[in-house]
Chain A
Amino acid sequence: MVNPVLFIVVPLGLAFAIPLLKYISKKIIRFVPALAFLFNLIFALRLIPVVMDHQVHVQIGGFIPPLGINLVAGPVGMLFVVLIALVGFLVSIYAFHPIKEKDEDRYHILYMLQLTGATGVVLTGDIFNLFVFFEILCLASYSLVAYLGNRAGIESAVKYLIQGSLGSGLILIGIGLLYGQFGTLNMADIAGRIHSVQSISVYVPLVLFITGFGVEAALFPLNAWLPDAHSSAPSTISAVLSGIAIEVGLYAVLRVVFTLFGITHMMGLFLLLGVLTLLIGELCAFSQDNIKRMLAFSSIGQIGLLVFAFSLASTLGIAGGFFQLISHTLGKALLFLAAGYMIAHTGSMEIASFQGMGKRMPFTSLAFTIGAFSMVGLPPFMGFPGKFMILKAALHDGQMLTLILLVFILIATVIEGAYFFRVVQVLYFAGEDLPDRERAPVAFSRFVPMFLFTGLIIVLGIYPSLITDLLDASALELLDRPDFIKSIIP
């Protein structure tokens, strides 16, 4: 069994080593991220059966929690580690092909640091340590958004940075308030001392945390930065930002709400917030002409759906939320990669310019179509079981509010279908009169990740039972707060 700390340390060490590796050979640098995340992927998958049985706790420096920092590799944490490693590995294959004439090594270093930060966030069991890794994730994201160095990139990065650091500052105040009252930083230890969220001095840190992490999780109304940032980053980075970064932000919110504070009575508000985010995201996506902005707004909508699912606070709802989260990560990464490849060919982000792509780039168009269908929730793709599980959970919940909100979710799905079908229609059926241009062959480094993402979406769509055990265990970890606390602080 591999020590989970290596999932953080190995990519970090390789990232530190890249400036030195550069002196040996410039060529090998672009394979380093793939190597690191392949390592993570293999060993994380091997750790999953162990984690399903019992949580793995790792002490750092040999001090028992709450004195030292500890890592908690439970089902939730490992689910995210596998997801991050998978997306990290596949997207880094995409970058085998040199993307830009700019400094390549910095791109790879930042990319690895971004995903390492995400891995750290989902594994750590200490609130301040979570903040530190969150900062790595955010800082790498700001830099990567500005990586292309054009006007739009720099401007989005500034916006992102201002809102993100404001959020980080609020989180830090929240940590200070919690430490002042409870005298500890270990999340399980704090959770053990918060019995109910009644007094204002517990309520304020909660609000600060939700606001701070909510910026990264793109909860409405904290998501003004997202469409710009996601659309002006390089396509590979958009895939990671949409597929990993906001999900990790959501993870932090979930951890805070479920484990740290154990809230049960404010869920109606979150349900409402989720549906609001969903509707706004989908409506804005509908009115976009720019494909990357459309996908970015669609991410906002999906996050709203996830918030709705998790706010149901039932095993069924949370498991469905996790399934939909995986589906969104894989689907959105695929969509951004495919869209990015098409943009590289046409040189334009306008949807209208993709006319006739179905003939010129058949494989890429097919991958995009599958991703889009999965996003809408058509069988046999992965989005279908996800949305179905959420639907079932909401019906099972049976409250009046939930049922009313469900209607809005169905409306949002229809809107989602409308704009995705519009793109698919442009890909295949528009511009018949265009002269037949020759087919563009798919580069190998582009083909492999898109093919694997497509394959995963179809396989998991047909056999959702492959991962349901892990999802149920994850839901249980979030809901069973006393057990979580007891397993760390006996």
Chain B
Amino acid sequence: MNFLSEYTYYIGAFSLIIIGLYIILVKKNLMKVIIGFSIFDTGIYLFLIAVGYLREGTAPVFSKPGLDAGKMVDPVPQALVLTAIVIGVAVLALAVILAIKIYAHYGTLNLRKIKEQRW
């Protein structure tokens, strides 16, 4: 139980990553796969932020005087996640437009049905 309360955030991040991977690998519907990517990415962001957390820490913003720098959470993972979120939305937008085009060409989003070219 101690482990659970200690690692709540890691467990959440880990579960999201696994669920996202499951959707990506197993689901046949392209839109579903893209949703899986969104969940997968969210899990990764949560993991990164959790890595930078400091217990009882404050946000790394000197919004009012008297904040102790020693008790602030690590800003680096937050900066990385900010960048990663924007990259993620870029990839998702491209994936969505490709899905729309796939539907226009094939009339289906089922990935097993649209495999024309093989090895």
- Touch between chains A and B, by CB atoms below 8 Å: yes
Say whether A204 faces chain B, with CB atoms less than 8 Å apart.
no
Option from A143, A156, A173, A175 in Cβ contact (under 8 Å) with B117: A156
CB < 8 Å neighbour of B101 from A135, A149, A165, A172: A149
Interface residues of A in 407-459 (CB under 8 A from B): none
Known contacts A146-B101, A284-B119; A176/B77 CB under 8 A = yes
B114 contacts chain A at the CB level, 8 A cutoff: yes
Question: Contact: A161 with B95, CB < 8 Å?
Answer: yes
Distance A180 CA – B51 CA, assembled complex (angstroms): 6
Q: Please indicate the chain B residues that have their CB under 8 angstroms from the CB of A165 in the complex.
A: 37, 91, 95
Chain B interfacial residues counted at CB < 8 A: 32
Q: Is chain A's binding surface mostly helix, strand, loop or mixed? A: helix
State the CA gap A175–B76 with chains docked (Å): 12
Q: Is the Cβ of B41 less than 8 Å from the Cβ of A154?
A: no
Contact string against B for A residues 146-169, beta-carbon threshold 8 Å, 1 for contact and 0 otherwise = 100101101111100110011011
Q: Is A185 an interface residue (CB 8 A)?
A: yes
Q: Which residues from A are CB-within-8-Å of B80?
A: 128, 175, 179
Q: Within 8 Å CB of A180, what residues of B? A: 51
- How many CB-defined contacts (below 8 Å) exist between A and B? 79
- Separation of A95 and B90 alpha carbons in the complex (Å): 27
Asked whether any CB of chain A lies closer than 8 Å to the CB of B72, the reply is no
Chain A residue at minimal CB-CB distance from B34: A162
For B99, what are the chain A residues with a Cβ–Cβ distance below 8 Å? 158
Q: How many angstroms between the C-alpha atoms of A155 and B87 in the bound complex? A: 22
Say yes or no: A146 contacts B51, CB within 8 Å. Answer: no
106-150 of chain A: CB within 8 A of chain B: 128, 132, 135, 139, 142-143, 146, 149
Contact at A158–B41, with CB atoms within 8 Å? Answer: no
Closest Cβ of chain B to A317, distance in Å, is 30
Q: Which of B30, B51, B87, B117 contacts A135 (CB 8 A)?
A: B87
For A373-385 the 0/1 string (1 means CB < 8 A from B) is: 0000000000000
Once bound together, how far apart are the Cα atoms of A172 and B17, in whole Å? 12
Distance in Å: Cβ of B74 to nearest Cβ of chain A:
8
Is there contact, CB below 8 Å, between A139 and B17?
Answer: no
List the B side residues contacting A161 at CB < 8 Å. 91, 94-95, 98
1/0 per residue B89-119: CB within 8 Å of A?
Answer: 0110011001101100110000000111101
CB distance from B26 to the nearest CB of A (A): 13
B48: chain A residues at CB < 8 Å are 172, 176, 179
Measured CB to CB, the closest approach of chain A to B90, in angstroms, equals 6
A-B contact pairs, 29 of them (CB 8 A): A128-B80, A132-B83, A135-B91, A139-B91, A139-B94, A151-B105, A152-B116, A152-B117, A154-B101, A154-B102, A155-B114, A155-B116, A155-B117, A157-B98, A158-B98, A158-B102, A161-B91, A162-B95, A169-B41, A172-B84, A173-B17, A176-B47, A179-B51, A179-B77, A179-B80, A185-B76, A224-B119, A227-B119, A228-B117
Other CB < 8 Å A-B pairs besides A155-B117, A175-B80, 18 of them?
A128-B80, A132-B83, A139-B91, A142-B98, A146-B98, A155-B115, A158-B30, A161-B91, A165-B37, A165-B91, A166-B24, A172-B44, A172-B84, A173-B44, A176-B48, A179-B76, A180-B51, A232-B117
Question: Could you tell me which A residues sit within 8 Å of B by CB distance?
Answer: 128, 132, 135, 139, 142-143, 146, 149, 151-152, 154-158, 161-162, 165-166, 168-169, 172-173, 175-176, 179-180, 185, 224, 227-228, 232, 284
Interface residues of B (CB under 8 A from A): 17, 24, 30, 33, 37, 40-41, 44, 47-48, 51, 76-77, 80, 83-84, 87, 90-91, 94-95, 98-99, 101-102, 105-106, 114-117, 119
